[in-house]
Amino acid sequence: MRHAAAFAACLLPLIADGAWAQAAQKAPATVTVYRCTNAAGKVSLQDAPCAKGQGQQSREMLRPVDAPARPAVPAPPPVAPSAPAPPPRTVYLAPPRPMYECITPEGKRYTSDDGRGNPRWVPLWTLGYPAVRPHSVLGDNIGHPDKVVRPPHRDVNWPVATGGGTWVRDDCAMLPPREACARLRDRRSELRTRFFNAQEKERDALRGEERDINARLDNDCGGR
């Protein structure tokens, strides 16, 4: 018991010194600044007492403390090199193909890509020429003023046993581009409607025609 009391008496000063040192570390340190003035009136500031013969003023000030170091800013990740731009593409578009609307003598309308119209064979008399027979030649009207002079046999396309005639084509007119595109889309709708009831061979033909229409819409009409 006596030894324990002696040990505690020895330990108390050590504890007290440690507490004072810890308090001293936490308390802000001060510094004395001396303001010295010499005989010429020049003023200087220093941390030591002024020399003899100089006027002296002192002041306690907090010791400057360095600011805490800033945390290191991580370096930005390296920027991956951008992929080179692809070379420019050159697209060649064919000029829009014209579309024509043709009319038969019966008033039926249909479209054509070349504007020539369907050909048909007609007798010459339907075009206003008088009816003639193949054996008529120039000079037959001599002595017969009521006869009309006919062209020679070699100048007329005489069909066999049918009388004179010629080939004529239906009248056609070019459609405006917007109307042509509308006709193409209408035709594609007709093909798709027929496709469901068509036989396999006809379906192959319908598929091919629809591909042609789609390609033409992409090129001539700016899309489908």
3-state secondary structure 8-60: HHHHHHHHHHHHHHHHHHHCCCEEEEEEEECCCCCEEEECCCCCCCCEEEEEE
Torsion, Cα of 185, 188, 194, 200 (10° steps): -170
99-108 pLDDT, tens digit per residue, is 999 999 899 9
- Highest-confidence segment of 49-58, 144-153, 192-201: 192-201
Q: Coil, helix or strand for 203? A: helix
- Highest-confidence segment of 126-140, 145-159, 208-222: 208-222
6-16 pLDDT, tens digit per residue, is 444 444 454 44
Q: What is the chain's length?
A: 224
Nearest to 148, CA basis, from 167, 164, 162: 164
Whether residue 64 has pLDDT greater than 80 = no
0.85 surpassed by pTM: no
Alpha-carbon gap, residue 82 to 13, rounded angstroms: 71
Nearest to 31, CA basis, from 45, 20, 47: 47
